[in-house]
Amino acid sequence: MKLEKPTVGSAVQSLAKLLPAESRRLLIDPELNDPRPNALILLNGREVSALNGLETSVSDGDEITLIPVSHGG
């Protein structure tokens, strides 16, 4: 059985599961089930949209940085 390599998306979803429900909604957009509207996501200092998005593979020692996005109107 081949194990799937972890991705940025699966790592962020795993982190979100550890948060209280209110905090989880701040990280993961509840309508889209996606963290990108609420956070800039970096892998080793590079924005994941410049890589393979949430499908970017993660290896031991990689650093994922979540930077909250401020919305206004």
pLDDT of residue 39: 92
pLDDT of residue 71: 65
pLDDT of residue 73: 61
**Per-residue pLDDT averaged across 25-29, rounded?**
90
Handedness of CA 17, 19, 24, 26 (dihedral sign): negative
Burial class of 28 by CB neighbour count within 10 A (0 to 12, 13 to 18, 19+): buried
pLDDT digits (tens, 9 = 90+) for 28-64: 999 999 999 999 999 999 999 999 999 999 999 999 9
pTM of the model: 0.84
Domains of the chain, by residue range, sit at 8-68
The answer to whether 54 and 11 are in contact (CB under 8 A) is no
**Per-residue pLDDT averaged across 4-21, rounded?**
93
The answer to whether 35 and 66 are in contact (CB under 8 A) is yes
